[in-house]
Chains A and B, each alone.
Chain A
Amino acid sequence: MHLFLQQVCSGLASGAIYASLALALVMIYRATDLINFAQGEMAMFSTYIAWMLVNAAVPFWAAFVLTLIVSFIGGMVIERIVIRPVENAPVLAAVVVTIGLLLIFNALAGWLFTYTLQEFPSPFPDRPLLGALLTTRDLGVIAVTLVMLALLFVFFRFTATGLAMRAAAQNPASARLCGIRVGRMLAIGWGLAAAIGATAGIMVAPILFLDPNMMGGVLLYAFTGALLGGITSPVGAVVGGLIVGVTENLVGTYLIASQLKLTIALVLIIVVLVFRPNGLFGTAMVRRV
């Protein structure tokens, strides 16, 4: 029983990381009907920025905030330069562009930082809590995720810009008629998604060690979480990410060797698509033809 609870708790910690990245995916998907396959590699690149700052003796939390700001701006720039030209292109073209971005960021990181695993400091001490049910590090990761979610909720719910972003995602033509600059809203969305991804990268790096391929598996879990929650639902992304984290840990502990854990994500994707394609919280897509 103790082992079970322990695995649930550490599953929630990794689930929180998947949830963050899943949320970034859902934000982009809602705004542009596009899965950003480069979300993970953008997060990895952001994490390297944080790593450089920490190595340059910048205090951890200052490096964290700086990285989020740089990632936000970087995300906006990517939207302007790379995504905007394919805005009205067929969706497949845009998807291929994001895959291109994935390869570029991966290769760029390998070229700049080499493929060697780098140790990344954790801001949280690694001490057992509650009779070793979870560690302070797990708790820290969960807390950071919760704070970020709360801030996002407040932003989207109560600010004029947040509301305008939701409107632009839902009905761009009407949003323009309300005087909302839809292009700018999309850019802000990409910036936010990049900053959320950066948070996920920085939280996961102390566990996985930093290397250019660090986010590959995480992106797959995050994608599974987003799909499980319903690809259009931010709440679903968070819940789905947490479920994936816990499932991954439990199945890896009791059923299969942990080297095979990534398979769980793929199996879950198939199960969701076969039995509940709209996910837990997603709404059915109705298209009039």
Chain B
Amino acid sequence: MAPILQLRGVKAFYGALEALHGIDVAVEDGGMTVLLGANGAGKTTTLRAVCGMVRSEGDIVFAGERLQRRSTEAIAALGIAHVPEGRGTFVGLTVEENLRLGAYTRAGKPHDAMARMYGYFPLLADRRRQQAGALSGGEQQMLAIARALMMAPRLLVLDEPSFGLAPRVVEAIFAIIERIRREQRVSVLLVEQNAGLALELADNAYLIETGYVVASGSAKALADDPQIRRSYLGY
């Protein structure tokens, strides 16, 4: 299977500061790739480079298209839906308006897609007229994922979906991500602190430290690596 997203020798910059020093990452078509690493290692920066939110060098290729020099909004229109750190919901808009915005790049009425999202996330259906800011953290994360899926993306980019959520909610969210991945055939690039859970679900994993990829391989292989187990899984 050819990768749907391929990063080759990617460097990323915040101003003059180089945050990524030439990394290679791939996401298989229909697969799920997880980026692991400590805070400040460059995981979020990698996602931002993909979506054109930071300046980058090297090759970032999505479904045959080079992404560099494209604007964030143009990259989104190509079929990459990014759920950013901190969820990025429009807190002053209603749940339904958030979902409508997700479908902004798609022609036609989004009713079918919206009904499907309410099927995945029944909680959101009950609150469709409420402001997104009134939702709990877990509900906002669900809304953020649902909004991203409204785009009918080929690649879903998730930045720490478990952040600040209770373990039970995290499990529920990952169960839905799994189901959506199967049913909608969407590839996933995930950044996650909960390494145990992430390695269980993902196909491939990359370990990033201080802007370099220091280990990569199948998720299973990384989960079995004694050093990674000690540092990131705690057993």
Which residue numbers of A lie inside 8 Å of B, CB to CB? 160, 163-164, 166-167, 170-171, 173-182
Contacts and interface: CB of A to CB of B under 8 A. Distances in A.
A160 to B, nearest CB: 7
A177 B90 contact: no
Interface of B: 51, 53, 71-74, 76-77, 81-82, 84, 88-93, 97, 100-102, 104-105, 147, 151
A171 B88 contact: yes
Nearest to B52: A176
14 contacts: A164-B101, A166-B93, A170-B90, A171-B90, A174-B88, A175-B101, A176-B53, A178-B73, A178-B101, A179-B73, A179-B76, A179-B151, A180-B104, A181-B71
A-side interface mostly:
helix
Contacts of A160: 100, 104
B105 A178 contact: yes
A12 B187 CA distance: 58
Contacts of B72: 176-177
Given A173-B53, A179-B73, A179-B105, A167 B88 contact: no
Contact of B51 (A170, A171, A177, A182): A177
A170 B101 contact: no
B49 to A, nearest CB: 14
Contacts of A178: 73, 76, 101-102, 104-105, 147, 151
A35 B234 CA distance: 53
A163 B98 CA distance: 9
B146 to A, nearest CB: 12
Interface pairs A-B: 4 shortest CB-CB:
A179-B105, A179-B76, A174-B88, A176-B72
A173 B93 contact: no
A5 B41 CA distance: 69
Contacts of B82: 177
Contacts of B77: 179
Nearest to A177: B82
B73 A180 contact: yes
B98 to A, nearest CB: 8
Q: Which of B82, B101, B102 has the most CB of A within 10 A?
A: B101
